[in-house]
Structure 1
Amino acid sequence: MQPTPIRSLGEFDPAIACRGWCVRCGREHALPIGPARGPALELFDRMEAAGRIDFDSPEPDPRLSTDYLFGRAGGQMFGVLSARDQNGATVVLKAFSGQYNSIWELDGWVPPLIDTARFRRDTFEAEQRIKVLGREIVAQPLGSPARDRLIHKRRRASATLMQEIHAMYRLPNFRGQVVPLPLAVHPEGNAPTGTGDCCAPKLLGYAAANGLTPLGLAEFYFGRTNPSGSREHGRFYPSCLDKCGRILGFMLCGLEGA
């Protein structure tokens, strides 16, 4: 496969990288790409040249090869945040969306907003129960009342588990506030699966928790085009409004006065 050159990123309007409505102050907040564009281009070039994302490891981990992104799993979003530290120096952070080949944390990359050890510990039993229900559903005849009851039971168990998982996420903002994810969501209601795992929430959360002032953010897609064709290798994309946009307003709150 011959990837599209990342220079085509310039075809996308770079005015706004992410935005969202804040449930706390009742207004929209936004952050441009700004000075994050250059470091994002450099990160893309480094990934293409190295063919992996564990750049600083003396012994490459085959799980961290970029070949993974062109396989069945498909491509992934990567993000860069340009920020100013408390001494006025510029800091550049980078993140990948979700997990990379089942890996949550990697040296040199911003960690997730959830305590992954707690996540694995506290969700194990519920996930096992849901898997058992899945096997029981398969064993029942199609259209049978027993199968329908089990499907309903699994759906409720999955919804409850997702609520518990979202409550584990702690979202900071630039007013010094920290709340569980459900209290940051706008409009109110259950957030989609994966909310909080994308690049922008990871990067902004890390910046807010570590006294950094964001100056710009850029997210690009690396890998095989997704099934819908809405994500192509080597292009910038703004943060999605239906998932990230529901929490980014809260996370960006306070940045105007920083």
Structure 2
Amino acid sequence: MQSTSIRPAGEFDPAVACRGWCVRCGREHTLPVGPARGPALDLFERMEAEGRIDFDAPEPDPRLSTEYLHGQAGGQMFGVLAARDAQGETVVLKAFSGQYDGVWEVDGWAPPLVDTARFRRDTLEAEQRIKALGREIDGLPPASPARDRLVRERRQASATLMQEIHAMYRLPNFRGETVPLPLAVHPEGNAPTGTGDCCAPKLLGYAATHGLTPQGLAEFYFGRTNRSGTREHGRFYPSCLDKCGRILGFMLCGLEGA
């Protein structure tokens, strides 16, 4: 695969990696790209060179090949956090957004903010019910009263499940506080699907619970251009505002005095 020089994209302040309004202290918190840019470039180049993300595994896992990112599923965001430990040494963390080809956790990468075993256990029944409703809906004629009723039932079941899922996510900040995701969201109200699964929340969550002080963060896109054309291989992007921006204010809180 031909190497691509990673570069900024779009109209945004290239110095700011992420931002969000804090529900705790009523102000915006930000984190710069800062010293994370270099390690992010290194990660991008390593992924291109090795064609996998399980760099240190003795036997490559086929699910963790970067070919996945160039297929029908499309590419994915990757992030790097440069942090300082208690001894003042620099620590570099890395994360991928969401799951990687159905895999939640990969050695050497920041873990999700949810207990994945509990997630699978507690959502299985509801997910099966929602899928069953979908099959029933598909078998009924359009605009029929029965179909309309099942559509409403599925919509409510999906909304309830999403609320339950978000309540499983635990978001820490740099004041030593941890709250369920719904209590960290600004503005108040239901957060979009996938909130809490992006790179920045994973990285900041790990740093906050392991005594690390973030110095900078950088995120890039790797793989096939997304359907909307807003993400391209080899480009830096700031953390998304519609998902990450709703919770990162709380997660960054306390960092100014760290």
TM-score strictly above 0.5: yes
Report the AA paired with residue 165 of structure 2: I
Partner of 1:176: 176
The one-letter amino acid of 2:115's match is D
Q: Do structure 1's residue 256 and structure 2's residue 252 form an aligned pair?
A: no
1:50 corresponds to which residue? Answer: 50
| SS, match of residue 23 in structure 1 | coil
- Asked whether the 8 Å contact 1:3–1:233 carries over to 2, the reply is no
Does the 8 Å CA contact 1:94/1:110 hold for their aligned counterparts? yes
CA contact 2:3–2:48 (8 Å) conserved in 1:
no
When the two structures are superposed, what TM-score results if normalisation uses the length of structure 2? Answer: 0.97
What is the letter of the counterpart of residue 187 of structure 2?
A: P
Q: What SS does the corresponding residue of 1:82 show, helix, strand or coil? A: strand
Q: What pairs up with 1:1-258 in 2 under 5 angstroms? A: 2=2, 4-6=4-6, 8-9=7-8, 13-258=13-258
Q: Distance in 1 between matches of 2:97 and 2:9?
A: 22
Query: What SS does structure 1 have at the residue aligned with 2:208?
Result: helix
Percent identity, aligned pairs only?
83
Q: CA deviation at 1:10?
A: 8.5
Q: Which amino acid aligns with 1:128?
A: Q
1:79–1:94 Cα contact (<8 Å) kept: yes
Does the 8 Å contact 2:5/2:234 carry over to 1? Answer: yes
Amino acid at match of 2:219: E
Q: CA RMSD in A?
A: 1.3
Does the 8 Å CA contact 2:9/2:237 hold for their aligned counterparts? no
Report how far residue 173 of structure 1 moved: 0.1
Amino acid at match of 1:179: V
Residues 85 and 91 of structure 1 are in contact (CA less than 8 Å); yes or no, is this contact kept in structure 2? Answer: yes
Q: How many residues align?
A: 257
Q: Deviations over 1:219-249 (max 9, x none)?
A: 0000011111110100100001111000000
How far did residue 9 of structure 1 move?
3.6
Flag structure 2 segments of 5+ consecutive residues without an equivalent.
none
- Secondary structure (helix, strand or coil) at the match of 2:214 reads strand
In 2, Cα distance between equivalents of 1:247 and 1:13 = 20
Matched residue type, 2:93? L
Q: Give 5+ residue unaligned stretches, structure 1.
A: none
SS where residue 110 of structure 1 aligns?
Answer: coil
- The CA deviation at 1:2 is 4.7
Deviates more, 1:137-146 or 1:95-104: 137-146
User: What do the CA deviations read for 1:185-225 (whole angstroms, capped 9, x no partner)?
Assistant: 00000000000000000000000011100000000000011
